Amino acid sequence: MGNPTHVDDSPVTRRSPIRAILSTAGMFGIAVFVALVATGGTYALWNTKASVSASTVTAGTTDFTINDVKNYTIAGLDTTKMLPGRSVITATPLVLKNTGTSLISITPGTVVFSAPSASTDSSTLASNLTVYVKDASTCVVTPFGTTPTSFTTPIKLSAGQTRSVCVEVRLSSNPPATVQGKTATFTLNLEGVQVRS
């Protein structure tokens, strides 16, 4: 009789395909988790933010007055006795003032007087008059034969600062006879500009 065939009747252990896949995936997941833990958490960055509350900002202003008003009519400028080559002058100085405000208090304004313009003139008198603005603490008329002086550079005034000036009006030396006894009214504008010091 030949060798008997050996039959192993012990149960055969088989792994299902699904179980094998899940087991492999689990090991991979653990490997990734361990790798992340080993880096010290550099893959997670903390962040925050802060805000600045709104605030109110007000711009400074530049403004000028003459004797504390915006429009000043010169008093005491007697032109009824003007003669050729002679002058009349304001009885007292006019006070210019920078009434503006500035966020930077040292920022001044410059002041210039524009050429006078005649608002009324019953003859050619206005064209024979010359207006001068003088820097002075007292108003003294310029002697006959001497040419009056006037500002040659802008006046610089800081906020709140004042300056005294005099206005002198001179009749030309050879005016036509038609201006005798005539009157003229002129306007002298003050122009101010804020500048950096």
Rg of the chain (C-alpha set): 48
Confidence of residue 32 (pLDDT cuts 50, 70, 90): very low
Phi-psi region of 8 (alpha: psi -120 to 50; beta: other; left: phi over 0): beta
Instruction: Decide: helix, strand or coil at residue 79.
Output: coil
- Report if residue 8 sits inside a domain: no
Neighbours of 179 (CB within 10 A): 22
Residues spanned by the domain of 37 = 15-45
pLDDT at residue 24 above 60? no
CA torsion through residues 92, 158, 116, 151, sign: positive
The residue with greater pLDDT, 172 or 190, is: 172
Phi, psi of 71, deg, nearest 5: -125, 115
Same domain, 24 and 112: no
- Report if residue 5 sits inside a domain: no
Same domain, 80 and 114: yes
Share of the chain above pLDDT 70, in %: 60
